[in-house]
Amino acid sequence: MRIGISIQSAYRVEDPRVGARFMVERAEAARQADLDSLFVGDHHVTDHAYYQNSPILGRMLAHWHDKPAGALYLLPLWHPVLLAEQVSTLAAIMPGRFIMQCGLGGLPHQSAGMGVDMRQRVAMFEDSLSIMRRLWAGETVSHDRFWSIEDARIGPLPAQDIDVWVGASVPAAINRAARLGEGWLGSPSLTPQQSKDQLNQYRQACAEHERQPRAVALRRDVYIGASAKAAADFKARAVAKGYRGFAEDALLCGDTHAVAEQFAEFAEAGFTDIIVRNMASDQSDALATIEALSDVRRQLNL
């Protein structure tokens, strides 16, 4: 199993430079903990600071090592030529492999703010991914269904193939992930049992499409406390506040031993990657959790 991190991109700060500094500090802590991958998310049309993925990832890569890194992109919200160029440029900056996580985007106000008809987002997703893969392969591309694209080419081309992980949580989307992606990205809102049930759905879909995935990843919101009691107290407060609308057993809070045990259970089920998101908004608590993941790795003999 590999343990990666998705650095939180949303911060409610008076000085926008503070949130950016927090993200860089977390990336540095993830490198020090020798984590296996580094990601950022994708969100638009917000009423608070949300640091956009391509530029902030470029900044954080200066503090990363040669292990894989990437970002989530909600494909219908992006022009595929622009996104293909940005991903290819990021792939040239980093020595390791670039992983593009991608999804549809399910917030109506976000799609409206970006001028996208949500009713078309599945078809836009598939066309966008096809266009980008052709551009990355060095082809000249024209398209007139959703974007007016005529004889587009890009450079630089990626030095190595871009891995695509598709986020999906309903049967049709899981089937699409098996058909189109090199990997599947499970939702952080899933309970452990739901995660295993959807993993089985994904495996079945891969078999139907005769695909062998490179990664089966699960996002987890995590808090590692100095003690089991400290972690339990933190979780109780988070649940009382209705943390992200998640079920209580979707949240992973514990000391390093408890977190390692849960990760081992996911590994046994067949997940190849756990992508951690910090539950704590306090910077010192977030850094402590990232640092503690190095001990989790040791307990798992990674």
162 pLDDT exceeds 90? yes
CB contact at 8 A, 68 and 96: yes
pLDDT at 193: 97
Q: Provide the CB-side half-sphere exposure for 84 (13 A, CA).
A: 25
In three-state form (DSSP H/G/I as H, E/B as E, the rest C), the secondary structure along 95-121 is CCCEEEEEECCCCHHHHHHCCCCHHHH
Task: Look at residue 284 and tell me whether its pLDDT is greater than 90.
Answer: yes
Query: What does pLDDT average to over the chain?
Result: 97
Is the pLDDT at 279 greater than 90? The verdict is yes
pTM of structure: 0.96
- The answer to whether residues 166 and 177 touch, using CB atoms and an 8 Å cutoff, is yes
pLDDT tens by residue, 100-159: 999 999 899 999 999 999 999 999 999 999 999 999 999 999 999 999 999 999 999 999
Q: In the chain, what are the domains?
A: 2-221+257-277 (3.20.20.30)
At residue 182, the pLDDT reads: 98
In this structure, are residues 263 and 3 in contact, taking their beta carbons and an 8 Å threshold?
yes
Q: Which of 71-80, 93-102, 105-114, 245-254 has the lowest mean pLDDT?
A: 105-114
With pLDDT > 90 as the criterion, what percentage of the chain qualifies?
99
pLDDT number for residue 276: 98
Q: Dihedrals φ, ψ of 112, to 5°?
A: -65, -40
Q: Report pLDDT for 106.
A: 85
User: What average pLDDT does the segment 35-50 reach?
Assistant: 96
Residue 242 pLDDT greater than 90, yes or no:
yes
The yes-or-no verdict on residue 181 having pLDDT over 90 is: yes
Residue 296 binned pLDDT confidence (cut-offs 50, 70, 90):
very high
Long-range contacts of 23-29 (CB under 8 A, 24+ apart): 23/51, 23/56, 23/59, 23/60, 24/59, 24/60, 24/63, 25/283, 25/287, 26/278, 26/286, 26/287, 26/290, 27/60, 27/63, 27/64, 28/63, 29/287, 29/290, 29/291
